Structure 1
Amino acid sequence: MKVAQIFLLCVLGAVLVSTVLCNSPTGPDDCCIDLYSKPINKRLITSYYMTDPRCPLGAAILITKNSRRICVDPKQLWVEKIINFLEYKSL
């Protein structure tokens, strides 16, 4: 009987720990749901950053002159050109 109680207590403890870890508020802040696909003029973009690796969709977030954030696919050629332009401009 004691073995069954200890086993049940261990299972209950594991369930409680897993629910606490799954509801952790330390997840990524900015994740993208959808990606913008049309090319944007590089002169309208002031900066960019990449989404957190824990996000389900890997993306670059472009920030425009009027502070809009646009999610884009970093593998697109036009996005790579914008990122290279911003990196070169910051030197």
Structure 2
Amino acid sequence: MKTSHIFLLCILGAALLYSVICSNEVGPDDCCFKFYPRRVKKNLIHSYYMTDYRCPKTGAILVTQKSRHICADPNLSWVENIMKSVDESSF
């Protein structure tokens, strides 16, 4: 009887370990590790979104008219102007 309990406990432990290791939630989809060094023209940007809080750097991902993604520092004035312009045009 004790052997079957130990065996069942081992199987349950293995199932729990497997579910933790193989979970799909690994991390954020998009992170900025390097910011684009030059200014981007406002009229080229279609939209933007901020990186996930789990990313090492807070970044603004600017999406161009051609669906290219550019990582930019959201604290720079030109990036703030673009984000403000996009926010105003979406209303």
Aligned counterparts of 1:88 and 1:37: Cα–Cα separation in 2: 25
Following TM superposition, the consecutive aligned residue runs of length 4 or more in structure 1 with deviations greater than 2 angstroms are none
Give 5+ residue unaligned stretches, structure 2: 1-12
What residue ranges of structure 1 are gaps of 5+ in the alignment? 1-12
Deviation at 1:24, TM superposition (A): 4.5
Confirm or deny: 8 A CA contact 1:37 1:73 kept in the other structure: no
**CA RMSD, Structure 1 to Structure 2 (Å):** 1.7
Q: Which residue of 1 aligns with 2:24?
A: 25
Q: Percent identity?
A: 51
* Matching residue's letter, 1:65: Q
Q: TM-score, normalised by structure 1?
A: 0.73
Aligned length: 74
Output one character per residue of 1:22-56: Cα deviation in whole Å (capped at 9) or x when no partner.
Answer: x7431111111211021110000000000000011
